[in-house]
Structure 1
Amino acid sequence: MSAPPPVPQGDYLPARRHRDLIFTSGMTPREAGVLTHHGPIRASDPLEDHADAVRLACRNALTAARATLAEGEAISAILSLTVYLVTEPGFTAHSRLADIASADLRAELGEAGIGSRAAVGVATLPGNAAIEIALVAAV
């Protein structure tokens, strides 16, 4: 039995499936609806300080995607990964933090876990989250 999808924090679905494509909403690092990591990410922070937040947001996105699957179906590929990071000026390691999400997806899905990717620095995210991740997956 798969895990239940993350609880939406507003008027939206955690993921939406259209035929063999799944689009997730942006997922923040929340456990049981509680935000566990807040922004901003500082240029002086060791990247490992934010690894758990990236992994949790990525796991939430993958869980939301999997919740749209019928019995016997599986995600065949991650087509796109977008990682939003609240960063202070001077932070330049966006791709290195996004690599943590890519590594988790590769570990979970093999080479099918690696698709196109964007790592984007932003001023703020909902609830003062440090990180938000959205996926597009194929079934």
Structure 2
Amino acid sequence: MNSDLPIPQGNYVPAKRHGSLIVTSGMTPRREGVLILTGNVSSATPLEDYREAVELACGNALNAANAQLRQGERIAAVLSLSVFIAADPDFTAHSKLADFASDYLRDRLGPQGVGARAAVGVATLPGNAPVEIQLIATV
């Protein structure tokens, strides 16, 4: 198994391909199966403090998508990016936090790495993760 691939935390696969579409499972900021950050995102904490977690979750999703590529293929575009944020009730900077994921994808894939996006606040996420990211890409 590729060590860059996220380790599923349940009965699912990291990504699934159908034709030229790749859909990833929701990815949390886990390195070798272990969360690097837990707890809700708070408005009292600088957004920058969450950048590493968001980028790791996004990187896990991109690695899962890349694992579905065949020889000579590449991700042509990210069509959709969903960023779920376990946020305290007073947190309102969802879009700014999700920008860390959009920037990460743009830096790695160019302009085609930025697609449609949803930034959604939720009460909890698996394992008490602060963020979970899911993407849909085309080959």
**Shorter-chain TM-score tier:** over 0.9
The equivalent of 1:36 in structure 2 is 36
Q: Deviation string for 1:105-124 (max 9, x for gaps)?
A: 00001110010000000000
Contact 1:43 1:89 in 2 (8 A): no
Aligned partner of residue 135 in structure 2, secondary structure: strand
In the TM superposition, structure 1's runs of 4+ consecutive aligned residues that sit over 2 Å from their partners are: none
State the number of aligned residues.
138
Mapped partners of 2:100, 2:43: distance in 1: 17
Identity %: 59
**Secondary structure of the equivalent of 1:137?**
strand
TM-score (norm 2): 0.97
Once the two structures are superposed, residues 82-107 of structure 1 have per-residue CA deviations (whole angstroms, 9 ceiling, x without a partner) of 00000101100000000010001000
2:127 aligned residue:
127
Aligned to 2:46: 46
Q: Distance in 2 between matches of 1:37 and 1:80?
A: 25
How many angstroms apart in 1 are the aligned matches of 2:4 and 2:129? 21
- Deviations along 1:37-92, whole A, 9 cap, x unmatched? 11201111100010000000000000000000111110000000000000101100
Runs of 5+ in structure 2 lacking a partner?
none
Matches within 5 A, 1:70-85: 70-85=70-85
1:107/1:3 Cα in 2 relative to 1: closer, same or farther (>3 Å)?
Answer: farther
Task: Give distance in 1, aligned partners of 2:137 and 2:112.
Answer: 10
Q: What is the root-mean-square deviation of aligned Cα atoms in Å?
A: 1.0
